[in-house]
Structure 1
Amino acid sequence: MSGPVMPRRGFLAGAAGLAAALTLAACGDGGGTAAPAASGSAGASAGAWSFTDDRGKKVERPEPPARIVAQVGSAAALWDFGVRPIAVFGPHKLADGSRDPQVGNVDITKVEGLGNVWDEFNVEKYISLQPDLLVSSMYEKGTLWYVPEKSKDTIEQVAPTAGVMLTGRSALDVIGTYERLARSLGAGMEGVPEAKARMEAATKELARFKDLRILMVSGGADAFWVVNPPEYPDIVHLVDAGLNVVEPDKVDEGGFFQTLSWENADAYDADVILYDTRTQALKPEEMMKKPTFAKLPAVEAGQLYPWSAEAPFSYHGYADFLENIVANLKKAEPLQ
């Protein structure tokens, strides 16, 4: 019997790690640094600007937006293309004040923080920033990630919004959308060709590991989640490149994962296990305390490797992400 069902938003947002979330909440905005006057995306052409997002919504302004606010995943992607948001929301600061991996290369000392955990968004500060555009990803079409339902209407009245769909798409498609948006904003694209070449090279290498059966998971205090590949852009990319990623037999409502109890963590055979490295997920040493997990062949063989579940959707972000996976899979072998 599997463990209790967890809402997909809770899993995706990281509500599984309640203690970690409370720690992050205590961190709050941390006072913040005064936002710069503009996004820093130099080169935007003068004149009318428009962008059609993944909701099919055409966003229009008399000139390219300069003061951009973005959810951390969107901010990380745009930053790598050369766009400089003035503020972010979502997990961007750890309890010790350092940068959360989910915010990528964003310099958090140079952006305002509007919220650090799920359902936290400082609407008053957002209004005071006089933004030109808000950008966020979407797991459900029409629902901007980390924009609280309770203040959604107010937030959307302040400035136009753009949504980038993640679910059911390849990472290449998502990266392409962010690239298109960044170019429309006049981003400099510095280092992009080189990063794209690195991503393509690492992608080609993945096919050599087609004989490895790979399980991708996330651990919580009372539940073990086996992720469902078709719903995640990064895993779709891995599968398209030739990796054999296990699909759960039965997924929870919403389709993102199957929830298992730790007693049933051995439900699927695998040569390699890739584990969620986000702040809220259990660390390997914590999962190893679960007897069933510790006895898994992949774990006993030491073929347990990190999975950056929210790598930035940029060529830079995916070059790093894929190169790390390739380096780890080179150490693995099929288990009999």
Structure 2
Amino acid sequence: MAVLALAAGCSTTSGDEPQSTESWNYTTAFGNTVTADSPPDTIVVDAYSAAALWDYGIRPDGVFGFGLADGSALGTAEADRMTVIGTDSVFDTEAAAALDPDVIIGYSKKTAPQSWTWWDAAQAEQIAAVAPFLGVDVSLSIDESLDQYRSIAEALGADVDSPEIAADREDFEAAKQRVKDAVSAEPGLTVMPLNVDTDGIYIGTENLVVLKLLRELGLTLAGPEADGPWSTVSWENVPQYPADIVLEYPASKPILADSVIYRSLPAVAAGQVLDWDDKRPNTYAEYADWLRQLAESIESANKLT
């Protein structure tokens, strides 16, 4: 693992410095503590964690998981500078062991914080023999998730107060404020977060953390109420939920292009459509960029509902 000194524009690896004899520990957002005999030198991460840590100058040794094959999870991280341990749900334990990692980092959940979300108990136990697992809590708010990765990066030796990170953080806060100001200038604006595949039509709810953020910034979400992250609807019922702006899942585009009902939605007919994804890389820069696009869409939108 290399940790770049961002402000100085140089890089060092722990291999260039005398190895610490001190043990290392980190308490995750779940409350469990991950320990190692010394500060991690070699790390393996899932693709979303690679994106988050890359912006802090951390260069993981291995990478795996969803969003790696198509690059959608990577942000600015470069897959060809890491050893690919597996894509999607595949994790090659032997390939990971060959790297001899000190810690493995990835998305997890409260019920099994010492396992990647997509491992079963037997696989998690097998991988634990390779290296301890540091779980990332994805149920947190966007701000809390960004803080969580900031904390992990600091524990791995990164300078989390570099000028570059400070600028990205300021851009993120400014983008949030711009959305809030745009909504205040056009109160009652409604957005429909749409996701469609061959199995069904789904409207996102505020149980998705990115949509919870939009609610906090003042936007109204169109769609039926649901206990989970998605409401399932039929094409015939979609027009029952009028929206001023449609948020369109990029992977849905081919199906949406063939839907007469979709093309007839007032927001779509007016061109008031913006891409969105509930699994965006957790970096200040990624969210700042998307929130700026959202603010621009709100500022230029005509009220249709």
Range into which the TM-score falls when normalised by the shorter chain = 0.7 to 0.9
User: For the residues of structure 1 that align with 2:200 and 2:38, how far apart are their CA atoms?
Assistant: 49
Deviations 1:49-68 (A, max 9, x none): 21111222101123211211
* Preserved contact between residue 120 and residue 148 of structure 1 (Cα < 8 Å): no
282 and 125 in structure 1: CA distance in 2 versus 1, 3 angstrom threshold: same
Structure in which a larger fraction of residues adopt strand: 2
Corresponding letter in the other structure for 2:221 = V
| Partner in structure 1 of residue 170 of structure 2 | 197
- Conserved 8 A contact 2:109-2:135: no
Once residues 265 and 110 of structure 1 are traced to their aligned partners in structure 2, the CA distance between those partners, rounded to angstroms, is 44
Instruction: Show the counterpart of 1:75.
Output: 50
Q: Which residue of 2 aligns with 1:305?
A: 274
Is the aligned partner of 1:152 residue 2:121? no
Alpha-carbon RMSD: 2.2
The answer to whether the Cα contact below 8 Å between 1:218 and 1:225 also exists between their aligned partners in 2 is yes
C-alpha separation in 2, matches of 1:268 and 1:142:
37
Pick from 69, 72, 84: which aligns with 1:113?
Answer: 84
Deviation at 1:327, TM superposition (A): 2.3
| Partner in structure 1 of residue 72 of structure 2 | 101
Give the CA deviation at 1:247. 5.3
Q: Shift of residue 214 of structure 1?
A: 0.8
What letter is aligned with 1:49?
W
Amino acid of the structure 2 residue aligned with 1:292: I
* Counterpart position of 1:268: 241
1:163-189 superposed Cα distances (whole Å, 9 cap, x missing partner): 12122x310001101101101111134
Residue identity in the other structure for 1:275: E
Letter in 1 for 2:271: G
Of 231-240 and 135-144, deviating more is 135-144
1:140, distance to aligned residue in structure 2 (A): 5.5
- Residue 232 in 1 paired to residue 214 in 2? no
Tell me how far apart the structure 2 counterparts of residues 265 and 192 of structure 1 sit (CA, whole Å): 41
**Conserved? CA contact 1:195–1:316, under 8 Å:** yes
Paired residues, what number?
A: 284
State the TM-score, normalizing by the size of structure 2.
0.85
Alignment of 1:1-336 (within 5 A): 38-40=1-3, 42=12, 46=20, 47-90=22-65, 91-94=67-70, 100-117=71-88, 119-138=89-108, 141-142=111-112, 144-145=115-116, 147-149=118-120, 151-167=123-139, 169-189=140-160, 190=162, 191-207=164-180, 208-209=182-183, 210-229=187-206, 231-246=207-222, 248-251=224-227, 255-277=228-250, 281-283=251-253, 285-336=254-305
Q: Tell me how far apart the structure 1 counterparts of residues 28 and 173 of structure 2 sit (CA, whole Å).
A: 26
Query: How many angstroms does 1:282 deviate by?
Result: 1.6
Offset from partner CA, 1:211-239 (integer Å, 9 cap, x none): 3101112110231111111x222222222
Normalising by structure 1, what TM-score? 0.78
Distance in 2 between residues matched to 1:112 and 1:267, nearest whole Å: 48
C-alpha contact 1:215 1:246 (8 A) present in aligned 2:
yes
| Contact 1:55–1:142 (CA under 8 A) maintained in structure 2 | no
Instruction: Check the 8 A contact 1:222/1:261 in 2, yes or no.
Output: no
The 1:291–1:140 alpha-carbon spacing in structure 2 relative to 1, beyond 3 Å, is: farther
Return the structure number with greater relative CO, CA threshold 8 A, min gap 6.
1
Q: Partners of 1:286 and 1:74 in 2: how far apart?
A: 30
Q: Choose 189-198 or 234-243, whichever is displaced more.
A: 234-243
Q: Secondary structure at the match of 1:194?
A: helix
| 3-state SS of 1:282 partner | helix
